[in-house]
Amino acid sequence: MMQLFEAVPAAGQPSLALHGGAGSRTQELSLTEGAPYAHGLRAAYQAGWQVLAAGGAALDAVCASVAVLEDDPLFNAGRGASLTATGQAELDASVMTGAGRAGAVAAAHRARNPVQLARAIMEQTDHVLLVDPDVEFLKAHGLEVAEPGWFVTEHRRRQLEKVLTGRAAAARHGTVGAVARDTSGRVAAATSTGGIVGQSDGRVGDTPIIGAGVYARDQLAAISCTGHGEAFIRGVIAHDVAARVKYAGATLAGAVRATFAEELTRRGSDGGLVAVGGDGRIVVAHNAPAMFSARGPGPDPELTL
């Protein structure tokens, strides 16, 4: 069953929405277990909201929010990311502005905040996507370097062990992302993940693929996705939503519903996304049983757990 929430900010107000991953696990979360996730989502929302409320850029806001979630070990991005079959944290991240600039990184091992690395690739190189730039690259671009053990938590080690020994399904949960529209009307999106628990080393999902896990265009939309990465790549999900708005004249919510129905649900795949429209409207949607999200409008976010 698809869930969709829509909100429209007051005139002149910025918009912000975040996700902390879609999956099935939250159905089992008791309220006390949910509390730390709610705390993390709120802290991340506030980091982005502060930027927007001060008149800052949508790009700065989405990077600020995503960096907070990357540092929070509960979410599958940065520290606490899910581990590959050999126990590695291989981090994918992307960022895109409504002006059409984009940067992404796949399988990063040493950047403390992969979203900042994606941004540096966008702003400081001629490239869009790099695979695991080395420590010299990170230092040369002013990025914080993490020690190899920084990303790997005990919880994730145990989870991997359970998945590899068949005691748990290869649950996906916790990929993070943010979309924003600032008071100047510019939009941006960012997404960051450790991928799927027990994935093959070197597997790259939709997160760093522009148009699949992330997309932004001023006057149109900014979108950040989470879910079954291969399906999101095949359906070019983020771009498919924007294209329905642009070429078919769909509303943002209508475009999201159609993309999910035709490209995901019909093909037996699930996930979710957060989106802002060119007019600032916010759409949060998932066909997975649950998704962590925080959405405006305003300084106090509505949460879904």
Catalytic residues: 175
For residue 201, give the amino acid letter.
Answer: D
User: Tell me, what DSSP letter sits at residue 229?
Assistant: H
Residue type, 111: A
Q: Report the DSSP beta bridge partners of residue 210.
A: 214
Residues 6+ apart with CB under 8 A from 172: 21, 22, 23, 76, 82, 196, 197, 226, 227, 228
Quick one: 138 or 196, whose CB is closer to ligand ASP?
A: 196
Question: Residue 273: enclosing H or E segment and its boundaries?
Answer: strand 271-277
Q: Can you tell me which of 26, 116, 207, 293 binds ligand ASP, judged by CB under 6 A? A: 207
Is 229 a binder of ligand ASP (CB under 6 A)? Answer: yes
Q: Which is nearer to ligand ASP, 14 or 194 (CB)?
A: 194
Q: How far is CA 108 from the centre of its chain?
A: 16
What is the identity of the amino acid at 297? P
Indicate whether 80 belongs to the interface with ligand ASP (CB under 6 A): no
Q: Which of 88, 192, 224, 226 binds ligand ASP (CB under 6 A)?
A: 226
Binding positions for ligand ASP, 164-203, rule CB under 6 A: 172, 175, 193, 195-196
Is residue 78 part of the contact set for ligand ASP (CB under 6 A)? Answer: no
Q: Does 270 bind ligand ASP (CB under 6 A)?
A: no
Q: How far is the CB of 271 from ligand ASP (least distance, A)?
A: 6
65 counts as binding ligand ASP under rule CB under 6 A: no
Cβ distance 117 to 108 under 8 Å? yes
Minimum CB separation of residue 257 from ligand ASP in Å reads 20
Which positions from 232 to 251 touch ligand ASP by CB under 6 A, shown as an x/- string? --------------------
> According to the binding rule CB under 6 A, does residue 227 interact with ligand ASP?
yes
Asked whether position 208 contacts ligand ASP by CB under 6 A, the answer is no
Instruction: Find the residue with minimal CB distance to ligand ASP.
Output: 229
> How do 91-97 and 102-108 pair as beta strands?
antiparallel
Nearer to ligand ASP (CB atom), residue 175 or residue 287: 175
Q: How many residues form the binding site for ligand ASP (CB under 6 A)? A: 12
Distance CA 126, CA 197 (A): 32
> 231-250 burial, b for 16+ CB within 10 Å, e for fewer?
bbbebbbbbbbbbbbbeeeb
Q: Specify the pairing of strand 129-131 against strand 102-108.
A: parallel
Mutual angle of helices 58-71 and 114-124, in 10-degree steps: 150
- Residue whose CB is less far from ligand ASP, 51 or 274: 274
Binding site for ligand ASP (CB under 6 A): 21, 172, 175, 193, 195-196, 205-207, 226-227, 229
